[in-house]
Copies of this chain bind each other. A is one copy, B any other.
Amino acid sequence: MSMASTLIKENTCFEGKTQIFEHFSNITQTLMRYAVHLPCDPKEVEHGIIWLSGLTCNEENFITKSGIQRALAGTNTLVICPDTSPRGLNLPDEHSSWDFGSGAGFYVNATTEGYADHYKMYDYVVLEIYKLLKTAYQIKNVSIMGHSMGGHGALIMGLKEPEKFRSVSAFSPIVHPTQCPWGQKAFTGYLGDDVKTWSPYDATELVKAGHTHPQPILIDQGSEDEFLAEQLLTEDFKNICQTQNQALDCQYRAGYDHSYYFIASFLQNHIDFHLQHLKA
């Protein structure tokens, strides 16, 4: 639908259209892909939800595995799913591990050599994808959600730019990346060794520094998530939200793990939450 975007693939699903587009991003200076699911005629779309995926994912995981098309059926709200990093580059260490570089952009604006020229995923989402929603789709209100690394992305974007995002939710988010191995590896690689530059991309540190979102934040977290104790650190965010009076609805779900089987199980709750705030 964006004038500058090329339609790569389109499937009818639950009476809507699931589409994959490619466009040249002025921010990452690469071709980027994103998926959109339009539950209704493009002219009738009113609101948009941005979905941010986790490590190793691309623009397709959410639209193939989550059941989002069913959750949005009958609404006038689309979902847009950006890829998780620039592609087609060959930067130092970009393709040597699954938790850094390609598929692992961590939704920051990189400042390190080479990465600074392309890995600007924070701006790509809050400026370029956001603008695309406003211009190509004439979206009124926008909400944001994500999973794991993408849950981290949704939280920091919602906290830093509350005027842009009506509501924020996350599945299994990395809530305190400056204090976990995934975050430390990514931030060192994208931002360098000065840890002071990391805090603006850490949801727990943002709330600690006084950032808030006007609506309650919704988090679902599987109690059997294999990454909970070492990487996700959910309690850190819960505690700082309590201290700072940031409303938070954080549900631990007994028996659930880190997978899309978990996301699918509770997706309808998150969509209902966003629809309520988008329409308000």
Contact = CB atoms under 8 A, between A and B. Distances in A.
Contacts of A15: 265
Given A70-B264, A264-B70, A12 B65 contact: no
Nearest to A73: B265
Given A64-B65, A65-B64, A65-B65, A261 B70 contact: no
Contacts of A14: 264-265
A148 to B, nearest CB: 15
User: Looking at A64, A257, A261, A262, which has the most chain B CB atoms within 10 Å of its CB?
Assistant: A261
A15 B64 CA distance: 21
Contacts of A12: 222, 224, 255-257, 261-262, 265
A93 to B, nearest CB: 31
A259 interface: yes
Given A255-B12, A256-B12, A18 B261 contact: yes
Contacts of A264: 13-14, 67, 69-70
A13 B261 contact: yes
Contacts of A224: 12
A265 B67 contact: no
Nearest to A222: B12
Interface string A186-221: 000000000000000000000000000000000000
User: Looking at A70, A224, A260, which has the most chain B CB atoms within 10 Å of its CB?
Assistant: A70
Nearest to A224: B12
29 contacts: A11-B257, A11-B261, A11-B262, A12-B222, A12-B224, A12-B255, A12-B256, A12-B257, A12-B261, A12-B262, A12-B265, A13-B261, A13-B262, A13-B264, A13-B265, A14-B264, A14-B265, A15-B265, A18-B261, A64-B64, A64-B65, A64-B260, A65-B65, A67-B67, A67-B70, A67-B264, A69-B265, A70-B70, A70-B264
